Amino acid sequence: MVLSAEDKNNIRTVWSKIGGHGAEYGAEALGRMFVTYPTTKTYFPHFDVSHGSAQVKAHGAKVADALAKAASHLDDLPGTLSSLSDLHAHELRVDPVNFKLLSQCLLVTLANHHPADFTPAVHASLDKFLASVSTVLTSKYR
Amino acid sequence: MVHFTADEKAAITSIWDKVDLEKVGGETLGRLLIVYPWTQRFFDKFGNLSSATAIMGNPRIRAHGKKVLTSLGLAVQNMDNLKETFAHLSELHCDKLHVDPENFKLLGNMLVIVLSSHLGKEFTVEVQAAWQKLVAAVANALSLKYH
């Protein structure tokens, strides 16, 4: 799967529209994921995953920052995400299926807050972006 | 068989009355064909699918989306009996339409996203969770007669 020039443009535009809401959306997506897909909580036994949790807020911010970084380095996702890739492969070892679950919740969150900007073409680009990031993060698993 | 709690049923039905079957159905199917272009393989005879604009404006896609969402409405009314409700449609999708059940999951996820974009604040975490459960259960029911 390749990100076209149009995809990259769409992704950058979305991220500029997100502005300072990244952390908020990251936390919301995680919150949606924990309730919708309870199995994802197994990776966070040390967390308070209840609504409004400070830990979820902090983690949401971390996820959002990583995605923002990826969005501004679309020409080299493997390089940009290399250390996160190592982390997920050797320490976190989150089963690959879970990246799709978080991606779904990220799309639901973005569609919810920016319906006018979430055109079908932008939606497609974002889906590809999240899939690309997921692929990179699981690329060193074996 | 999947069991829906009273809260889940309430969350599901609470928004269903607001759903315009043609608008939401058409948008959901259109987006499916755009975001996952390989799903267009089932719609060769549906006319112009050459661009996102063509797809979203295609009246046959819109009509078919309405048809699909109307069936979803059957699910909302028969949450305790999805297997029987979708038995015939399952046979149809296997024997006549030859649709890989994976596509039902893709469509279900797409519907949730479209509902989210239309409903804003009302599409709470609980509502999303209940709807994801419903679409997953429908996808499963539709695959039961496959052989």
Q: Chain A interface, mutation test: which of B56, B117, B135, most A Cβ atoms within 10 Å?
A: B117
Q: Please tell me the distance from the alpha carbon of residue B76 to that of residue B144, in angstroms, as a whole number.
A: 19
Spell out the SS3 assignment of chain B. Answer: CCCCCHHHHHHHHHHHCCCCHHHHHHHHHHHHHHHCHHHHHHCHHHCCCCCHHHHHHCHHHHHHHHHHHHHHHHHHHCCCCHHHHCHHHHHHHHHHCCCCCHHHHHHHHHHHHHHHHHHHHHCCHHHHHHHHHHHHHHHHHHHCCCC
In a domain, B1, yes or no: no
In a domain, B34, yes or no: yes
Closest residue of B to A122, CA-based? B35
Q: Where residue B131 sits, what CATH number does that domain have? A: 1.10.490.10
In a domain, B98, yes or no: yes
Taking the Cβ of residue A101 and every Cβ of chain B, the question of whether any pair is shorter than 8 Å is answered with no
Give the pLDDT of residue B120: 96
Q: Chain B interface, mutation test: which of A25, A36, A53, most B Cβ atoms within 10 Å?
A: A36
Q: Write the residue in A37, A115, A124 that is nearest to B35 by C-beta.
A: A124
Give the pLDDT of residue B137: 98
| Cβ distance of B30 and A124 shorter than 8 Å | no
Task: For residue B55, list chain A residues with Cβ-Cβ distance below 8 A.
Answer: 120
| Cβ distance of A36 and B125 shorter than 8 Å | yes
Which value does ipTM take for this structure?
0.82
Q: What is the pTM assigned to this prediction?
A: 0.90
| Overall domain count for chain B | 1
Q: What is the mean pLDDT of residues A114-125?
A: 98
Does B24 score more than 90 pLDDT? yes
Show the domain range for B51. 6-143
pLDDT one-digit tens code per residue, B27-47: 999 999 999 999 998 998 999
Distance between B96 CA and the closest CA of chain A, angstroms: 29
Q: Do B116 and A111 form a contact (C-beta atoms < 8 A)?
A: yes
